Structure 1
Amino acid sequence: MKREYAKILGVGQNATETEIKKAFRKLALKYHPDKNPSADANKMFVRICEAYEGLLEGDQVQEEPPFKGGHDSRRKYHKDLTPEELEKRMQWAREYAERKAFEEEHIHQISLSQMQRSHMRYLVPFTLLICTIFLSLISLDYLVLAPKKISGVLMNYSQSGLRIDYLIYDVEASQQHRIDHPDISNHDVFIELHARMNEDDWHAVGENTAIEVLQTPLFNDYLGFRAVDGDQRIVYHRGRMHFLFWLYFVIFLAPFIVRFFRGANSFYIVFVYLTTYLGLLTSIIYILQFVFYKLEG
């Protein structure tokens, strides 16, 4: 009989009490007379209630003998139920569903209230402000504003496995260095970039080729370079600061998406914690990465 009950609720024979209750709530909402007025739904609702009681309380029901000539057997579910007993069971199911809904809503309301009275009251708007700033900056730097172009000459390159290291002569910076430091004999300024040969955007560029280096306007991050004449496809710099740009973009955007679900519900309560701490941690990593990037440059 336990197998039949478990089959009705769609759970395993060794399902836990939590799994049984979850399956019952799901099916009760689907076949509840107030939600589904069909006759089949009423019958299914009664079977669901009996299966729920049988699995949790150990009710035993009578078995029907198997059909002659067949291998399957069928069991009846209290076939002698009177209309009063049926109505009583349905009323119990309605009250149970309403009680569970009230409890869940009450728990969500308490959790939201506790969150609003805790340190999250200040941490959430602060994180939203930080994420707004960084999301705006990286969007402007990489998606909106046109990159700066630095005139240069590809002096030489070296290969180590799939990695290609480029040494680029910076024409304008070298000229400015001569003006600012006339007493220094070495006025050459070089830019070091590297790429990988297995990248789809990689292509060979010969030595002593006139190129232009692309640099972001806000963070001065080297994006890559391309030849002035001939093949003008960009060879992207593998070591650029925001190589994982889209990852940063999604993380900084997540707190705003969660705000659309604000209210006493599980999604908002869980994800407001997740996105707040993740956004704050990513902001700190972002700042540290920028500082180290500038120190190395």
Structure 2
Amino acid sequence: MLLQFGIDWGQLLRDIIAYGIQGIIAIIIILVAWAIGSVIGRAVNRLIERTGLEKAFDRTDVGKAFRAAGIDLSNLIGMLITAFVVVIGIVVALGYLRIGGEAGVLVAQVAEYLPRLIGGIILLTAGLILVALLTDYIGKLLTGLFPKQFVEIGEMLRNLLLIGLIALIVSIALDLMLFTGPLVYPLILGTVIIGAGIFIGHTVVRNIIEDHPEFASAAPYAKFLVYLIFLMVGLGAIFANFPQAAHVIQNVAWGIAIAAALLLVPVIYTLAKKMAGETKG
């Protein structure tokens, strides 16, 4: 009865054994990759701690943000290195299995993409470390070059450089991870514009108040206006590839500009009246 259906049990048994052996070898490859990755990851972790790179990074603004989020730099890099080696092992194991059909094509695509994903995350992390250290060094140089009354200008330039370099690193990492599209680069550009506007508005308004204390009462309005301008420009850059959304943002920007101007009228009048009174006195 079994032979009636044309089942070759001997061949079936041989196939099961062959696939079983291939599966075991694939698992061994992944385990070996995990063991090698763990050794390399721990070595990198200790190397970062002993070289003092982690302590130097912790003194930067980005490092402080990492610590506040509970992220340990050396552990993070060690884990990423381990993950990268394991992913390479998974790719080798999947290639050894030679899965056929549509499932094999899908598995091959996933296996091809995984190293890009982990590599992009490693590039992003390493880039943030280098950018933080570089901008901290440049910030110290600028602080020494500028007179005391312009120290904040040096800090502003350092922060702007930090934002620009982070945007560059993010852009390169996203390219490596194949995260591209009509919204990616405008999103990065818009974020840089908004971040730069916050630093510029805060620094400029604070310097004006220090030099002209009589404008202190108008400072909140000035900051709000500067932030609002850069926010609208940044949103316009983000949605530049979407004409309808950009048109809506443009109309909203005009409305906000008119409202802000109306709000500033009494402030300007009060300041002018105050300054005129001081002049007469």
- State the TM bucket, normalised to the shorter chain: under 0.3
Q: Normalised by the size of structure 2, how large is the TM-score?
A: 0.25
Q: Which has the larger radius of gyration?
A: 1
TM-score, normalised via structure 1 length: 0.24
The structure richer in helix per residue is 2
Q: If each structure's strand is expressed as a fraction of its own residues, which one has the higher value?
A: 1
